[in-house]
A and B are shown apart, each in its own frame.
Chain A
Amino acid sequence: MKVLELFIIVLGIPLLAFPQERDSVIINSDMHEVTVYGRQRDEIVPSQRLSGERLESLRSHSVADALRYFSGVQIKDYGGVGGLKTVDVRSMGTNHMGVFYDGIQLGNAQNGLVDLGRFSMENIEEIALYNGQKAQIFQPARDFGTSGSVYIRTRRPRFDESKRYNVRAVLKGGSFGQISPTIVWEQKWNKRISTSLSADYTGADGKYKFRYRRVLPSGTVAWDTTAVRQNGDLCSFRIEGAVFGNTDDGTWNAKVYYYDSNRGIPGAIVNNVWRFAQRQWDRNFFVQGSWIKHVSQRYKFQVAGKYANDWMRYLNPDETTMLLDNRFRQNELYLSTAHNIELLPRWELNVSADYQYNRLNANLANFVYPSRHTLLVAVATQYQFWRFRVMASLLGTNVWDRTTVVQSKVRDALSRWTPAVYISCNPIKDNTDLSLRFFYKKIFRLPTFNDLYYTEVGNTSLKPENTQQLDFGLIYQHDWKRGVFRHLEFKTDWYCSKVDNKIIAVPRGSGQYRWMMMNVGKVRILGVETTAQTVMRWCRDWSMVLCANYTYQSAQDRTDPTDNDPYYGTYGGQIAYIPWHSGSATANLKWKQLSLNYAFVYVGERYHASSNIRENYEQPWYTHDLSIGYTFRRFTFTLECNNVFDQQYDVVPNYPMPGRNWKGSIRVEL
């Protein structure tokens, strides 16, 4: 039982250090589907993962909601079914996150934001979060190019001995007038080739009640108002097809994806304004494929490619504000090749080269129609000796922008090398339970097309926004073959990072709505992440997975040293929307065909501006979600209640979040 004591003590350290505020912890497991994938032995530093039963219990959520259970992740959520949700890892900013879908990055050269609502949880097998980069060397160059990455992997068809097909149909519905049918059909054509086709539709009126309430210092109610959130409706359709192939010495796959949506944009609830009319339409299409071949024991390569075409229309028909009808179209072409050679046993070298082309069209006045060529080269090596594994990579980035308007300014060509080093070590002889890890990574994000060229706001003199990360962590895990505890895992990471040349909107000239992007921000981040997880089994039919995670972050604005008043100064203030304390806990209890899931998310107090004064204060929020599932032959029924205690909260001020809401689903597998 020493192990548990150690676990509690170590878990307790960061908690004791900040006792007043709060709390808790954990995630995740490599436990499930071990037979299929095993532990990701190629990775020097393990990721946070959601898969298997834990992912099953989150099926009805969106991908962004599922990410809340990772430590170090902050979600900025504007509320509702179709509301924008953006993901920020370790306070570095949304644009530093790379989102990879089946191994290929989802791009948005226009504004750097990837709408995670475009993907269906029904079709996802695993979501993994990596700080820095995926710590393996055999990957495209682009995978070395982000400060943090989320890898979404769709379900790869698997068939029972006797079956040639799987069909899964799901019908979900519940609060917000939501109805959402999904169908997935997987077919095995022969030993080598299988396909999958999935489609879903989501319709929702997005209406929910919200309440704002203020009291006087004496405690009596000053005002208390309840209203219905309007214009949060969503109608979306997604279809996705994939072909998976095996050859004697490799694998290949190809995928086609199309998503079409029409949604209302619920605006900020301010004095005298309670409803909105803005709308957005999206059409996203992409086709991608990759091929991996093991040429010999010592040499393998992969080739990957993608073409994406994204269309977006934004309409503001509200006559009390500026009428707008903007359309944007983006094209992206991406090609990648990676070559891995084993130089000596335990010493591998990888060389990758990627080419990417982006183009943006828009019906904006004075628009310059920018396009961008990006050439990436990565050299990475991995070496194992004694109890150490070391990985080092160097990424070279070359970028050229073009605009069709001859006289307009274009940003200068950029050429830059950025390194990363990952080291892991098993300090105890012949024991892999405990491992220590370290990484350093320096990388940058390019200014987006909007940053550079958006009419009036854009600034072609922008430099890339740099990040540097230093991380030290340990992980302890142990498996038992019998007893109540079958698996125990404890992870902690201590990190410091800095963001320089942060691109922020700065007022320009006269009038409030004249902004311009400038490289002025500086942020210093110190953080601790702790994750603990255990898997228990007893009395043959019972099992339970408990996870908790806790994150402490100090993300200080270091932009303007002269603005240093200890109370209201922005220098040294916690940056907007980053809580000092946040965490989550989940419990999944299973008995025969019955499962019960509980999830708790906590986001501590924070401020909505770097000046940490009471006018900018935001309350903590925390939600409890419960769900119950029952499997009967080929049918699975689930019922869930989210935000059980009906907490009325805002993640972003004036964007009210839903209170208690319900969902139900029926799933049938043939």
Chain B
Amino acid sequence: MRNVQAFLTMYSIIVLMASCRQDVIVWPSESETAGNAEHGPVTGFYLLNEGNMGSNKCTLDYYDYTNATYTRNIYGNANPDVVKELGDVGNDLQIYGSKLWAVINCSNKVEVMDAATATRIGQIEIPNCRYIAFDGPYAYITSYAGPVQIDDNYKQLGYVARVDTATLQITDKCLVGYQPDGIAILDGYAYVCNSGGYMVNNYETTVSVVNLSSMTEERRIPVAVNLQYAVADRFGQLWVSSRGDYYDAPASLYWIDRPGSSAIVNELTSPAGGHVAASAMTLCGDSLYIVGTEFSYVTQETTMTYGIVNVRTHSLVSTNFITDGTDSRIRRPYSVAVNPDNGQMLVADARDYVNPGRLYCFSPDGVRLWDVRTGDIPAHFVFMRRQ
């Protein structure tokens, strides 16, 4: 029996030594210094990390120019009592007035926060919500989750929801095409990129033109398959990107002259005459900054583009705005933003999508100034201005 005791004693010691479960703390934020402090009209920027689907790891980071500090995970600190944090797959981020709006795709909601503190003001329930734009007292949000057509293909129209920015209530809806993504507003019209992303082989090819005074779809402008983003410039042109169909049609970029009337669609070509892939784009002054990734079955390699388009001359003036070779460290350029104040370019690298991404800041001439670790899939930027 002594041996039994020895065994049992040994066993209890082992069990006691075992590391045990502890209470889980609300995701704490983490800060690090990056770059040098600056005191311009732009005081900082938010970066929304999408987080992989099902991981509930959409997080919000903030960079403060005044003290050159990058802080990860600020949402948990600002809102410790929100059950299950910010949510699953952040899809868009904007500031309008004093509010910060985050579109959380797989959590079927738009989170509205105070722009200065990121504390929660409320949420708007919009299933499968995608992108957001503002005009007057309203926010316009695209959603995939319109009525389902009962047939073999389960076609499902999308819609644009109009939300009162004061009451956070949905006041109207307008059906558009299948799986609408990017939205841009120009002269009382919303231009919605229909992707048809759920319908392989039958992608959408049009931009829906929605009259905001009547909330009705007036017409459609045919552009290219599987459209993603729309950006309006100061010349009244609409820049629209197509993801391509992943087989024959490559990703490409278009501009639409006079979209409100005659709507002439032109494709932007590189100096060599090729397509220009734009996985993400941002407008700063007359320059449209694009990052693009294109996979080739032939070489099994992904080609990355870091381009600048002059929207006045419609020319690709640079195919690599990174001049110091840092692009070789970037695995998956996923998003781009340019600080309108100092011209610094921000490129978010999503890497392998399941591990933390990285944010690179470049001087206007393309030299790396600093880089930091972000959350998973860093994707959407918005700049804070001095109030």
Contacts and interface: CB of A to CB of B under 8 A. Distances in A.
A455 B353 CA distance: 20
Interface string B148-192: 100000101000000000000000000000000000000000000
B3 A1 contact: yes
Interface string A317-328: 001111111000
B251 A215 contact: no
Name B's interface SS.
loop
Contacts of B294: 509
B21 interface: yes
Contacts of A222: 26, 80-81
Contacts of B3: 1, 4, 484-485
Nearest to A550: B14
A508 B25 contact: no
B323 interface: no
A272 B123 CA distance: 10
B373 interface: yes
Contact of A611 (B57, B127, B280, B356): B356
Nearest to A365: B200
B99 interface: no
Interface stretch (B33-41, B104-112, B212-220): B104-112
Interface string B127-160: 1100000000000000001001000001010000
Given A273-B106, A508-B302, A611-B356, A366 B201 contact: yes
A271 B375 contact: no
Contacts of B156: 319, 323
Contact of A620 (B18, B109, B123, B145): B18
B128 A548 contact: no
Interface string A28-63: 000000000000000000000000000000000000
Nearest to B3: A4
A4 B4 CA distance: 10
Contacts, number: 216
B23 A15 contact: no
A518 to B, nearest CB: 8
B7 A546 contact: yes
B279 A212 contact: no
B329 A562 contact: yes
Contacts of A512: 50, 52-53, 89, 353, 377
Interface in B238-265: 243-244, 246-247, 251
A217 B52 CA distance: 26
Nearest to B21: A619
A507 B353 contact: yes
A647 B21 contact: yes
A512 B375 CA distance: 15
Interface string A606-633: 0011110101100111100000000000
Interface in A576-625: 576, 581, 585, 600, 602, 604-605, 608-611, 613, 615-616, 619-622
Interface string B69-89: 000010000001111111111
B88 A507 contact: no
Nearest to A274: B84
A319 B244 CA distance: 25
Contacts of A581: 18
Given A509-B251, A536-B4, A570 B26 contact: no
Contact of B246 (A19, A514, A600, A615): A514
A269 interface: yes
With most chain B CB atoms within 10 A of its CB, the pick from A484, A509, A585 is A509
A8 B10 contact: yes
Interface in A318-352: 319-325
Contact of A216 (B25, B353, B354): B25
B53 A510 contact: no
A22 B86 contact: no
Interface in A457-511: 461, 484-485, 506-511
Nearest to B292: A510
B201 A8 contact: no
Contact of A615 (B27, B50, B81, B277): B27
Given A222-B80, A508-B302, A615 B17 contact: no
Contacts of B15: 22-24, 600
Dominant secondary structure at the A interface: loop
Contact of A270 (B27, B88, B373): B88
B19 interface: yes
Contacts of A325: 154
B56 A215 contact: no
Contacts of B20: 620
Interface string B318-341: 000000000001001000000000
Contacts of B86: 271
Contacts of B52: 512
Contact of B104 (A271, A514, A576): A271
B201 A270 contact: no
A604 B83 contact: no
Interface in A196-214: 212-214
Interface in A554-569: 562-563, 568
Contacts of B351: 563
A485 B3 CA distance: 10
A216 B292 CA distance: 41
B355 interface: yes
B355 A323 contact: no
A649 interface: yes
Given A610-B355, A619-B21, A270 B80 contact: no
A271 B228 contact: no
Given A4-B3, A510-B228, A613 B356 contact: yes
A268 interface: yes
Contact of A223 (B82, B88, B145, B279): B82
Residue among A455, A619, A621 facing the most chain B CB atoms (10 A cut-off): A619
A20 B18 CA distance: 7
Given A216-B25, A271-B86, A562-B329, A223 B81 contact: yes
B54 A320 contact: no
A508 to B, nearest CB: 5
B127 A270 contact: no
A495 B170 CA distance: 61
B109 A507 contact: no
5 contacts: A215-B24, A222-B80, A268-B55, A320-B108, A608-B55
Closest 3 CB pairs of A and B: A510-B279, A22-B18, A271-B87
Given A507-B332, A508-B293, 10 more contacts: A22-B15, A23-B14, A270-B84, A270-B106, A272-B125, A510-B277, A611-B355, A616-B355, A619-B21, A620-B18
